[in-house]
Amino acid sequence: MRVRAIVAYDGTDYGGLQRQTNAPTVQAALEAALARVTQEAVTVLAAGRTDAGVHAAGQVVAFDTDWRHTLGDLQRALNAVLPVDVAVSEVEAVAAGFHPRYDAHSRRYRYSVYNAPVRCPLNRRYSLHVAAPLNVAVMQQAAQLLVGERDFATFGRPPKQGGVTIRRLLVAEWYGESARLTFDIEANAFLYRMVRSIVGTLLQVGLGRMSVEEFVAALDACDRSLAGPTAPPHGLCLMEVKY
């Protein structure tokens, strides 16, 4: 049967989700746990290939297995052998043709910022520390201009050389009060490093280093050189994949 699972992980110590030879990955951890529990060689498909250091609360994966017990037993067995920074929160049987990436309607990410003069060690793994004051209202003004279907070439590159850079962005919202800020962004799909590039550029707006008009001009130019510095990965989390 094909199983769909929702997976959460702290990406700090991983080279990303996708299996690779030179770094530990979330996919490798999941496949090792599945092999140990099911005694099968199992390949995991994922909804999104999160980069090194990026976290997830709602990554969706799928895999095929001849598991003969209940799905609840499978979930408990996997969580018993997975590393402490990876956990399976839900499992369910799905149609044999289900693909977590190609069947997804949208994905929602959250970027966390700790905006205070002094850094907070307890936040260092999951949020970006910005010491200078941020103008959240003007960042939100610029973010709203991203919503809709448009060419986002300024903020990322397509998965394949020469691929289409048009995406449909559904949500771009800054939330929070005082020092803790979050940016939620949802789209039908994202370009490579698009979210982190958008966040980094919006932070330039919030710091007064770029006006809203300059932000719009950069977006319209479809020129990667006009984007701000790419925000680091540790503030980013894949929150949800919708089907």
Give the residue among 54, 61, 49, 72 at the shortest CA–CA distance from 7.
Answer: 61
Judging by DSSP bridges, how do beta strands 236-242 and 55-64 pair with one another? parallel
Catalytic residue among 51, 64, 73, 223: 51
Find the helix or strand (DSSP H, E) in which 71 lies. helix 71-81
Structure tokens at 11: 């990406």
Pairing of strands 86-94, 45-46: unpaired
Angle between helices 194-206 and 136-144 (to 10 degrees): 130
Handedness of CA 223, 163, 110, 230 (dihedral sign): negative
51 annotated active-site: yes
Residue showing tokens 């770029």: 210
Triad 126, 165, 14: Cα angle to 5°: 30
Both structure tokens of 164: 């289409």
Burial zone of 148 (CB within 10 Å; 0-12 exposed, 13-18 middle, 19+ buried): exposed
Q: Which residues are marked as active site? A: 51
